[in-house]
Chain A
Amino acid sequence: MPATAPPGIVDLDRVATRTLPNGLRVRLLSERSTPTVSYYTFFQVGSRNERPGLTGISHLFEHMMFNGAAKYGPKEFDRVLESQGGTSNAYTSNDMTVYYEDFTSEALETVIDLESDRMRSLSVTPVTLEQERQVVKEERRLRTDNSIFGLMEEQLETLVFQAHPYRWPVIGWMDDIERIGREDCLDFLRSWYAPSNATIYAVGDLDPDETMALIEKAYGDLPAGPALPAVPAGEPLQRGERRAVVRYPSQAPALLVGWRGPRAADPDAVALDMLQLCLAVGESSRLRRRLVQEEELAVSVQISWGWRIDPGIFFAFAELAPGVKVERAEKVLYEEIAKAAGKVMSAREMQRARSLLRSGVLHELATHGGLAHAMGQAEALLGDWREVGRSLERYAAVTPADVKRVAETYLAPERRCVVELQPEGER
């Protein structure tokens, strides 16, 4: 869930913003509490913008971005950054690719130089592509092929989405990772990595005017990119439960149940945040209490509701106690969801959810990186970075009836997708 700033915590009126003639958007905030700066670059491209046969290219390309450009050659990016007291990383999601640097404030000019250099002139060589391909295959083996949750999640996505690009994993299918060629990467670079598809957020010990001037100088002459194709968002209406079984030599069973939710920008998204809190965050949440404490069917239970540009997944994952039949845990889970859909949450539960959400927001905005990231998420998902300052109000506006309605609407039995892990054999 994206963060929101309670009034008075972060003064968003101080954010300096500009859109350069080439379309690059810039948002800067001076916060001098710590002598560091966090510099985020959001590209509006993720696995959502891929096509079958090239799944995983957004993520593989993210790796390529660290392999050298015209001014700073291979291996130079991190070397230069680290030598000036900084660190860098990146992630790719279904909707976006995000690069970030945290560094001592003296290194700001260098970071702008490094980031603009790779946006301007990334080099994609056969040798580096092959190396990164091997690294990404190891990453896939780690997170998916040898991970029980990874195996189950991959199945869930193919159940919840039958047409939308969200149906394939961000890391891509192994076959596609093998297949992606240099030309594919260069096409991808030209289409998606133009300034017109990027936004920069910098928060920390910086001077906004000076920083804006440096950014204009470094990025200003880059050409705007091409018009980008729309993502096909069609999805067949689900009219009944969908199910998959994962058989694996695990020691104990597990259950993953997902439902297709609304888009992040839909007002129902915040009501589902509240539902998530009531059901599975904290020891006194309904599912934790019933599945873990009272009936001891599960060792752990969690709900994930990740906001996405297009309708995303609301899912419950439970690691079950050894020997527990999956259907028993399913029955309890569905009973609790039916209760949430049938009767409004108590005032106490609503208050508890709001308190936890407020605390979560305060924690997220307590760091330069957290704030820069929250602004980027808000702009990418909701269309406006200023939403960072508004969502506590939106949580306050959610009524018990809203929470009941979203449980009833989105978590209806005929909309659910179930993945069960069946331990295979004895070892």
Chain B
Amino acid sequence: MKPSRIVLPPVHTEQLPNGVTVLAAERPGVPLASARLVMRAGSSLDPAGRFGAANLVAEVARRGTHKRTGKRIDEEVEALGAELGSGTDEDATSFGFSAPVESLAKLLDVVIDVATDPVFPAQEFLRLQRRELASMVHDMDEPAVVADRAMLWAAYGSHPYGHPVEGTARHISALRRAQAIDFHRKRYGPASTVLVLVGALDLGRALDLARAKIGRWRAPAAPARDPDPPAACPRRVICVDKPELTQSQVRIATPALPRSSPQYFPAVVASSVFGGGFTSRLMEAVRVNRGLSYSVRGRFAMSRSAGLFAMASFTKNESVVELIEVLLGEAKKFCDSGPSQDELERTQSYVSGLYPLTLETHDQIADKLADTAVYGVPIEQVVQYRERVREVTAEQCREVACSHFPVEQGAIVVVGPAKQLARSLERFGPVTVLPARRFA
């Protein structure tokens, strides 16, 4: 069955004289509009000793501008039936909303105000700093969160992607308001900003609005510089001690591909065969055949400058060794022989058949457009997605797996009761036991 080509609404791309890139698309349907204001000011730009700065800056920016207090921002946005979203990842910080289209102009004004003209009220800075620290304490009670934090650190080492976006308690505590202001001044600027507007809007009016609202923004920030590729990660085993757990979290990860890699489509297909849907190799081996876990996945997580290949699952403490052996065994098998023709074709149908579901709403399209801008990939990749997936060969899948699956290399992270687990993990490599609070 040959899938139909993806149809996107025409995307208007424009660079304003101040350097801001605008991507806008008019799309019929539900009377909503989505906006994303995305700046290349992610956690990989956190200053040394101040991990978590980018994230906290975005949080505090919402708490007041020269024109509006934080309280007024909340009230203005929510009265229009919206919630102001803000988020930071390793590459970017974004502000945005999805709301009834008639509120677009008013909400856009708030979002641009927050991103470009925040005042970082001193009391609010201190309050959000305390809240981030308190929140981090709760995170330590979430085994999966601890495992993900430990995995980043173990796989990336000292690379700028190696610390969690939320930062660490020690660094957050040390961050001062002046440093937050400095981060905003240096990192938020028109040259590295993209504004995305998608929805049941009038394109001409939306563009006029965008030009009027953000076209006048001037800021000294220089374009963001990309981090270097990460170093390879030799085999190491990290056992994060949480004595109370009856079920351990397991991660196996190694540095892999950036999103702009020419191997992107083979990576999508390979990881889907290996650890994607309900019929993936990992699901079959771990859940269906052995009942070892409720969930297992193996995937490439790709960012702008680098990425990870990671396997993630959990099992009762008694089965941890068996689970790791199965994960590593399946990875090796896949690297040796790649997918069968049947697996390849089934997965190509699966991946390409479902792709339109990721483009169903204005919001999803806005996210896709923002991603192409942040990751530096052409929008054509969205339109050609199904054909590109169809072109992937079994050998390309094997190659991408062979280069990046953590068979001999890579970090193994287990979060569970170290007393019960650590000795048994030595068969996989040198074991380091760390307390969970190490990852706060």
Contacts and interface: CB of A to CB of B under 8 A. Distances in A.
Interface string A358-371: 11001101111000
Contact of B345 (A34, A83, A104): A83
Interface string B279-308: 100001001111111110000000000000
A356 B80 CA distance: 7
B32 interface: yes
A135 interface: yes
Chain B CB within 10 Å, residue with most, of A300, A362, A365: A362
Interface in A215-267: 248-252
Given A83-B350, A363-B98, A145 B247 contact: yes
| Dominant secondary structure of chain B at its interface with chain A | mixed
Nearest to B359: A34
B294 A352 contact: no
Interface string A93-135: 0000000001110110000000000000000000000111111
Nearest to A131: B291
A87 interface: yes
B421 to A, nearest CB: 15
Interface in A1-60: 9, 33-36
A139 B78 contact: no
Interface stretch (A185-193, A291-299, A326-334, A372-380): A291-299
A78 B3 contact: no
B141 interface: yes
B141 A132 contact: no
Interface string A296-334: 100110000000000000000001011000000000000
B246 interface: yes
A34 B357 contact: yes
B353 A282 contact: no
A138 B292 contact: yes
Interface stretch (B131-139, B260-268, B402-410): B131-139
A103 B82 CA distance: 30
Interface in B310-335: 314-316
Interface residues of A, number: 66
Interface in A335-391: 348, 351-352, 355-356, 358-359, 362-363, 365-368
Contacts of B284: 75
Interface in B116-150: 127, 130-131, 134-135, 137-138, 140-141, 143
A85 B247 contact: no
Contacts of B314: 138, 141-142
Contacts of A355: 78-81, 100
A34 B360 contact: yes
Contact of A142 (B247, B291, B352, B356): B247
A179 interface: no
Contact of B131 (A84, A139, A251, A296): A296
Given A283-B74, A299-B135, A427 B82 contact: no
B245 A138 contact: no
A195 interface: no
B83 interface: yes
A207 interface: no
A322 B100 contact: no
B427 interface: no
B157 to A, nearest CB: 27
9 contacts: A9-B31, A79-B346, A82-B349, A132-B291, A134-B290, A135-B287, A293-B127, A299-B135, A321-B131
Given A75-B284, A299-B131, A366-B362, 12 more contacts: A78-B279, A85-B352, A104-B353, A131-B291, A138-B247, A146-B246, A251-B137, A251-B138, A283-B83, A296-B130, A296-B131, A366-B30
